[in-house]
Structure 1
Amino acid sequence: MASTEFAVNLGGKTYDLRNFVRDHPGGINTLEKFRGKPVGQVMKLYGHSYSAYHMLNDFRVDSGKDANLTGGVSASGRIITKGEADMDHEQIAFLEELESRLDWSKPLLSQLHKIAPHYELWVNSAVYRKCRLFASPVLESLTFTPWYVVPMFWIPIIVCMGVLQFRDHVFCGDSCEEASLSGLEFVGHIVFGFFLWTLLEYSLHRWVFHHDPGSSVILIQLHFLIHGMHHKVPFDGLRQVFPPIPALLLAVILYLPASLLFTHSLIKLTGALIGYLIYDMIHYYVHHGSPRDGTYLYAMKRYHSNHHFLNHDKAFGISSKLWDHIFKTFVQVKNLGFSLHW
């Protein structure tokens, strides 16, 4: 085999993981020792989820079929391997039957009725592919964005809001419309807004993004649009930060009630936007970055991987574990005894 390939064997079938090694939640170093070798026993030993076995179909070496990393037509369903013989065979077979109902070469949003009664099971069975949501190029363009567009869009807005609010409430002199704020009070409002964001981050993720849509096709489509697709295609780098225009609309909607509840709401909004920007950048980095063991982002990368592939109903914090501790959804990630490298 060519040196660029990263072949492994499972149940007599060969899978080329070259495009996946940096995304592997368990790091590159743990995979490297199994290049060209069987992986069935080690996958069982480390408790790989159904999703891990399901995803392997996207890497199967088969000269007659498209690997489907760019949305091309792939084989209908994944071959069940011998390595899964001791797992729930009927469950895995059903996952493959569900997958075969959809045509990934076409927009997915209009096809979700085909898996509606079993949407929760299907959406948490990740694949290593890219997807299209809308047939309309305009609508589709609003659903994805490169990570760097987010800071380019939000940093000028945050700086402008902060400077204007500081001028109007701290350096306003005799022109103050109300009692001026000290610099420390101004920072206090910023920090309070930042803290509010952390609660909002957790709340949206837990109670909105992970709300069970049931079998309603409309609710399923809405869920898939706002968060479900991220669990289905968790390695698509263009769908891991919030596109600026939808994010701006959401910020306006959330600000309206907040402006009635809090004083100096625009200052607090500035702090909340700082929190949001940090969150979005952390979210992208924990999917694609290479943090070192012992760092905060290393811990958050492992924590978020646990949410994606083991505990979908826990570990909702992305930039912080604070609210997971408070609301009893914290997950203790397994201590491996060695460092992971990505």
Structure 2
Amino acid sequence: MENKTSSEVLSRTEINQLSRAGRAIVIFEGEVYDATDFKGTHPGGPKFIDDYVGKDMTEVFYEEEHTKIALRMLKDMKIGTLEFSNSDQVSQDTVTSHSRMEEIEGEEWRKKVNPKLGTVWQVFTNLDHEEYNSFINDPKHLTRPGDEHIMFANPVLEFFSRTPWYHVALFWTPIALYKLYQGSFELSPLEYLMTILFAIVSW
């Protein structure tokens, strides 16, 4: 079966067909989501998603008190809306007086910052003070294939903003060893030892 778009209405039969085809289709607050690409990186492990494939996970999602970032990630996985039938039991105790998805609606800064076009410049030119505070206090989490967050639109600056952790050690270790070598001729043994200990603690 071909992929559905987020505006389509999916019946239980279609959801079951997608699930049998190996896709991790779940239902939340009457909306349908495809968590296939995400389940491998789910913090609780793929089993927690596999247990609800083809099912409504609204209640368990509420119980686990997921954060806003989890809601945003889920929103990106939406493929459609559930077609309700007389056989569907919709509990008002499960779907609370307000939708959890409503918590992430109206975040204006998200409409003004495209993480794929250079975040730094957009943050300082497009956001006001309140939006800036919301931006810096919001966790950024990249887990799905294709996720990307670019700091600078300039490819040269962007290249130097990303480096494996060991590159820092490779750069500074020779310099530190050379300075220690120089210090061995200028300091007493006690001063030399204290300098090394201070450097280690400071690091």
**Cα deviation 1:191-228 (Å, max 9, x = unaligned):** 443333xxxxxxxxxxxxxxxxxxxxxxxxxxxxxxxx
1:126 Cα shift? 4.2
The structure where strand makes up a greater share of residues is: 2
**Cα deviation 1:82-119 (Å, max 9, x = unaligned):** 95753577643223x44233445533333324443223
Q: Determine helix, strand or coil for the equivalent of 2:150.
A: coil
Q: Which amino acid aligns with 2:189?
A: S
**Cα deviation 1:28-59 (Å, max 9, x = unaligned):** 34333233332211111011112211221222
Q: Structure 2 vs 1, CA of residues 165 and 114 (structure 1 numbering), >3 Å: closer, same or farther?
A: closer
Q: Determine helix, strand or coil for the equivalent of 1:142.
A: helix
Is the contact made by 2:29 and 2:99 (CA closer than 8 Å) also made in structure 1?
no
Q: Among 108, 111, 119, which residue is 1:100 paired with?
A: 111
Q: Among 116, 128, 151, which residue is 2:166 paired with?
A: 151
Return 5+ residue gaps in structure 1 as ranges. 63-81, 170-175, 197-271, 273-342
**Cα deviation 1:115-167 (Å, max 9, x = unaligned):** 4322333441646431223222112212223x3xx314514642663476268
In structure 2, what is the Cα distance between the partners aligned to 1:33 and 1:107? 39
Q: Structure 2 vs 1, CA of residues 8 and 195 (structure 1 numbering), >3 Å: closer, same or farther?
A: farther
Is the contact made by 2:25 and 2:34 (CA closer than 8 Å) also made in structure 1?
yes
In structure 1, what is the Cα distance between the partners aligned to 2:31 and 2:198? 55
The structure where helix makes up a greater share of residues is: 1
Q: Structure 2 vs 1, CA of residues 127 and 7 (structure 1 numbering), >3 Å: closer, same or farther?
A: farther
Q: Structure 2 vs 1, CA of residues 101 and 89 (structure 1 numbering), >3 Å: closer, same or farther?
A: same
In structure 1, what is the Cα distance between the partners aligned to 2:109 and 2:49? 29
**Residue 98 of structure 2 corresponds to residue 86 of structure 1:** yes
In structure 2, what is the Cα distance between the partners aligned to 1:180 and 1:125? 47
In structure 2, what is the Cα distance between the partners aligned to 1:20 and 1:30? 12
In structure 1, what is the Cα distance between the partners aligned to 2:55 and 2:100? 24
Q: Structure 2 vs 1, CA of residues 139 and 164 (structure 1 numbering), >3 Å: closer, same or farther?
A: closer
Is the contact made by 1:55 and 1:126 (CA closer than 8 Å) also made in structure 2?
no
Number of positions where the alignment pairs a residue of Structure 1 with one of Structure 2: 164
TM-score with structure 1 setting the length:
0.39
